[in-house]
Amino acid sequence: MRVIQKFSIASLFMWAVPIAILYAFNNNLLPGTSNLSPHSLTLVSGFLAVISVNIVIAFYIYLAMREPADKHEPDPKFLAEAKASINQSTGDAQQSSQPLKKQQ
**8 lies in some domain:** yes
**100 lies in some domain:** no
**96 lies in some domain:** no
- Written as one letter, the residue type at 89 is S
pLDDT exceeds cutoff 80 at 94: no
**35 lies in some domain:** yes
**19 lies in some domain:** yes
Mean pLDDT of the chain: 83
DSSP 34: G
**53 lies in some domain:** yes
Write the pLDDT tens digit of every residue in 43-64. 999 999 999 999 999 999 998 8
What pTM value is reported for the model? 0.61
Distance CA 79, CA 72 (A): 14
pLDDT exceeds cutoff 60 at 98: no
**28 lies in some domain:** yes
Residues in CB range of 52: below 8 A, 6 or more apart = 17, 18, 21
Distance CA 75, CA 67 (A): 19
Distance CA 36, CA 48 (A): 15
**95 lies in some domain:** no
Q: Which domain holds residue 25?
A: 1-90
Residues in CB range of 24: below 8 A, 6 or more apart = 30, 33, 45
Domain tally, the chain = 1
